[in-house]
Amino acid sequence: MNAIHRRLCRSDRWTSQVEGQLLPWVLRGIELGHDVLEIGPGYGVTTRLLEARVPRLTVVEIDPDLARALDAELGHRVRVLHGDGADLPLPDRSFDAVVCFTMLHHMPSPAAQDRLFAEVARVLRPGGVFAGSDSRLSLRFRLLHVADTMVVVDPATLPHRLRAAGLIDPDVAQGPRSIRFRALREPAP
């Protein structure tokens, strides 16, 4: 992330927006269950909010410095792992829910995003839910990502991509600045 993006992601304004708007919109009507995995927590804004809502939270962060900082701050309440969401260092069928918020566009390609979706399907328990959000393309969003990775998720193709990864019942909704997505791991027979 570039310096402006890093500053924004640590700001009180972003924290307030996530707490008051984004997280309630994305998680409305979803039962996360007991064991939850968050992929790509970054500076931990969503992690701090989630850890109070779920009995057991694990986070996987690809940036080693951010993973260390999260572990130092939240490691006594949250399991923090340094790893790649497209190659999760976790066993099959480990989680009731997997979430990710505004991080997919930081992945280097749609193929990498698809590998993340497949990993989500692998680590979800039968009937588990995958939920998250990402930003919509806009001029402001482009400017925020100058000299930064920005692979925007196309909401029109996302349901097909989630199904191809092994998830069922995908639902994608668009808000003014973000998309919200949900899908399930097929229940056990």
The reply to whether 27 falls in a domain is no
**What are phi and psi for residue 182, nearest 5 degrees?**
-150, 145
Q: How many CA atoms lie within 13 A of 62 on its CB side?
A: 15
Q: How many domains does the chain have?
A: 1
Helices (H) and strands (E) in the chain, counts: 8, 7
Q: pLDDT tens digits, the chain, 189 residues: what are they?
A: 556 555 666 667 766 887 889 999 999 999 999 999 999 999 999 999 999 999 999 999 999 999 999 999 999 999 999 999 999 999 999 999 999 998 998 899 999 999 999 999 999 999 999 999 998 765 565 556 566 777 789 999 999 999 999 999 999 999 988 999 999 999 987
In order of 28, 49, 71, 132, 168, the CA distances from 24 in angstroms are 6, 11, 25, 11, 23
The answer to whether 80 and 39 have CB atoms below 8 angstroms apart is: no
| Token pair in block for residue 137 | 């393309």
The reply to whether 104 falls in a domain is yes
Please state the pTM of the whole predicted model: 0.92
CATH number of the CATH domain containing 160: 3.40.50.150
The reply to whether 189 falls in a domain is no
